[in-house]
Structure 1
């Protein structure tokens, strides 16, 4: 029986399951007919896992006749684990995957290109990968026995729907919900921030505390996903824009100095060999109406190209009418544009 409304990934897609490490896996979408020396590593957003981003099926189909294969990466914080995760751990796992891909493919096909792509909060992983010190700084609590990971260079990087979690939450607080008025939402939000600050860790500062599910569920997070006080404060970044937290990379009110400290560091780190492609959704449900998307992309371009080399891909754009994950019923044209921009960008990557 054929099920209607399912993507090709949901119906079944051939490929290879790779064990990157004993606890880290990735699925390579490939039929094994054409040599595939080049790789696109895909990282989803909060709550995503293997095959949960629908437009990935369009990308896989478009790249099927090419020499590119797609690795769908399942991070340790995928699915419901995002509330306990952190960007530093994510980029370590991406680094392991890049190394694995090169070690796996080079003996078969020779050197190939590797591009990392993030959807939504996966975009924060991509930006963190190419802009922070290498190896990254250790977390004072969770990295006491951590072995530093030196991140390998990547040929390209793509950010799709790089939205601000902080501005998304503030929009919910400002507008209220069907259950709670804006005044009630503000009280809930303020108390959650206050409690998270006061009790971020417990057991001699060795483990995370959790924000009650009854609170996170009312401000927009799934009630099935536990969120630590640490990650909550990073996502909502209550002292922004003056003192943004780690996850606050894409807010529209961030200072030029903050953009210099993030986008502006890409050239200095030397981890991005070619260019960054940014595909912002023009009708993103997670973006408040006060955000000027075109102006925001111009600021990012100015920040990343500040040191002479042109890291901003000319194929970057705000995709008209695109929703956050391009999953609505009217997204055929936005998905076509996304795939077109991506394939042209990957062609540029091959040209070097």
Structure 2
């Protein structure tokens, strides 16, 4: 979910290889190592909405590119929500500057689901592409570990990926969920949703899960019956953070995250959380289901924290400094 959706000289490839590359080499050996630098000043974020860095391919598809600021062996990977792409939130520029001072790189990947692609993609596809990206960072840039930062529906991507037990998920040293809110509960406030869920269910039962829904199901992007059902239906694949899920249901969906240091940044004025939801209770229950995740409540913060940039960046930095790198186990051990 996103405010704009319905309802938001080239870096040289390293000649050395990580010992971990033996586990993942097969998934990345044919990937392009080409990169291009952007124009900009010597200080990241020196111009509004401009960051100097490196654009690189991490997979064979045209969309599988990522933008990296900073040249360090620890990376924060930002995973945006519906309709998001590069520079998706206001805090990314400030975060990039702050991370560079702490010797972390910020990586912003484009996935098949980026921009208007989310309706014909899935959490499974995002997970596969995230694994490709981390594989590239390990094999081509000798990564010593990554932290995943999800915004909105990007939080579902993180939860799904960490359940997949993909080879490169061992490199994930922490997870930050910023605005983990329910797409289902928000879309339930829209008048067309109930009828469209029924239609999506019918299409899925008729083996038409990958067929497109009518245009008015989602005016922002083409969307398949499967993805619409995943986002909007009770216990759909994307339904992870709804306030009406029981504690047991939340644990079933989120409990595996207990093995990963985790922070939840929740905006207490999130415009995509219905008024009837008790936000304080919800974030408390989410953190408990995640195995005791760190809770950060940002008073008056909106969904993308565009009105609380400083607080967002400080919360992320505090988590990185407190939990790692010394606080985390060696991801390769």
Interval containing the TM-score (normalised by the shorter chain): 0.7 to 0.9
| Structure 1 equivalent of residue 224 of structure 2 | 228
TM-score by length of 1: 0.74
Q: Which of 283, 298, 321 is equivalent to 1:319?
A: 298
C-alpha contact (below 8 Å) 1:201/1:209 kept by paired residues: no
Distance 1:43 1:10, change over 3 A: farther
Offset of residue 191 of structure 1: 2.5
| Structure 1 equivalent of residue 188 of structure 2 | 170
Offset of residue 158 of structure 1: 0.6
| Structure 2 equivalent of residue 347 of structure 1 | 321
* In 1: Cα distance, 2:187 partner to 2:246 partner: 20
Q: Map of 1:80-91 to 2, 5 A cutoff?
A: 80-91=116-127
| Structure 1 equivalent of residue 284 of structure 2 | 298
Deviations 1:142-188 (A, max 9, x none): xxxxxxx76434100011011100110122x3xxxxxxxxxxx2xx3
Residue aligned with 1:210, SS? coil
* In 2: Cα distance, 1:10 partner to 1:208 partner: 40
* In 2: Cα distance, 1:214 partner to 1:284 partner: 25
| Structure 1 equivalent of residue 242 of structure 2 | 251
| Structure 2 equivalent of residue 14 of structure 1 | 52
Distance 1:10 1:46, change over 3 A: farther
Deviations 1:101-148 (A, max 9, x none): 122332xxxx62310111000011111122x2435xxxxxxxxxxxxx
| Structure 2 unaligned residues grouped into runs of 5+ | 1-44, 328-333
* In 2: Cα distance, 1:302 partner to 1:197 partner: 32
TM-align CA RMSD = 2.1
Q: Map of 1:179-198 to 2, 5 A cutoff?
A: 185=191, 188-198=192-202
Residue aligned with 1:284, SS? coil
Offset of residue 201 of structure 1: 7.7
C-alpha contact (below 8 Å) 1:9/1:57 kept by paired residues: no
Number of residue pairs matched by the alignment: 280
| Structure 1 equivalent of residue 15 of structure 2 | none
| Structure 1 equivalent of residue 89 of structure 2 | 53
Q: Map of 1:256-275 to 2, 5 A cutoff?
A: 256-267=247-258, 270=259, 272=260, 275=261
* In 1: Cα distance, 2:203 partner to 2:151 partner: 31
Residue aligned with 2:54, SS? strand
Distance 1:74 1:8, change over 3 A: farther
C-alpha contact (below 8 Å) 2:203/2:209 kept by paired residues: no
* In 2: Cα distance, 1:49 partner to 1:201 partner: 33
TM-score by length of 2: 0.78
Deviations 1:229-280 (A, max 9, x none): 111111111xx2xxx111000001101121121221224xx5x3xx101101
Q: Does 1:209 align with 2:215?
A: no
* In 2: Cα distance, 1:209 partner to 1:10 partner: 41
Distance 1:118 1:9, change over 3 A: farther
Deviations 1:289-344 (A, max 9, x none): 11112211221222232xxxxx523xx211111111123xxx1xx21111111111
